[in-house]
Amino acid sequence: MVLYFLDSNSYAPPSVGGYAWIQHDQILWYRETARALREENGAPLPALAFFHIPLPEYEEVWATQPCRGHKNEPVCCPRLNTGFFAALWEEGDVMGTFVGHDHINDYEGTLYGIRLCYGRATGYQTYGQEGFLRGARIIRCREGERDFRTWLRLEDGSIVLHPPLHQPQGVREGRLKP
């Protein structure tokens, strides 16, 4: 299992505004690394990617696909889309991405075969929402399998295996793995 950790930076230049994005040199590094690992192993290795600021595709997955979990605030993603999601899809190794940033979102959904997952607000030095317990997203991978399971563990010790299903208008009910 390959784990990619990328710096999604912080704020965009004032001429763009909003939040920053994963830069083109980072995307190039990811592509070169994924290709080298694929060549070395004869096939893409199962991988997960972690970064702080969600990609614009997090808004798309909520709007177009069945998702599990809560969206209690807007997706605060970059205004510019640098194509990192397309690079993930083209290289074919990353099964899921994990982000934070939007503290009271914790949903997950699958877009073009890649699961897009929010964590859950863990700290107390930031905003939250009354009744929305802090917690963490747990990830379980098994050696030799191209799959993963994920669930939430909340601050009161409870485990959320089956969060509520969000069904975008006009989309038939689908199944997501917990």
- What average pLDDT does the chain have? 93
E-assigned strands of the chain?
2-5, 47-50, 67-68, 94-99, 108-111, 114-118, 135-141, 148-154, 159-160, 165-166
Q: What angle do helix axes 24-41 and 84-91 make, rounded to 10 degrees? A: 10
Decide if 49 is inside a domain.
Answer: yes
Asked if residue 138 is part of any domain, the answer here is yes
**Location of structure tokens 């940033």:** 101
Query: Does the residue 61 lie in any domain?
Result: yes
Report the pLDDT value the prediction gives residue 171, as an integer from 0 to 100. Answer: 57
Domain-embedded: residue 64: yes
User: Which phi and psi (to 5°) does residue 32 adopt?
Assistant: -65, -40
Residue 45 included in any domain:
yes
Structural domain boundaries, residue 64: 2-166
> Tens digit of pLDDT for each residue in 84-101?
999 999 999 999 999 999
Average pLDDT over residues 24-44: 97
Q: What is the CATH number of the domain that holds 64?
A: 3.30.750.180
Domains of the chain: total: 1
Length of the chain: 178
**pTM for the whole structure:** 0.92
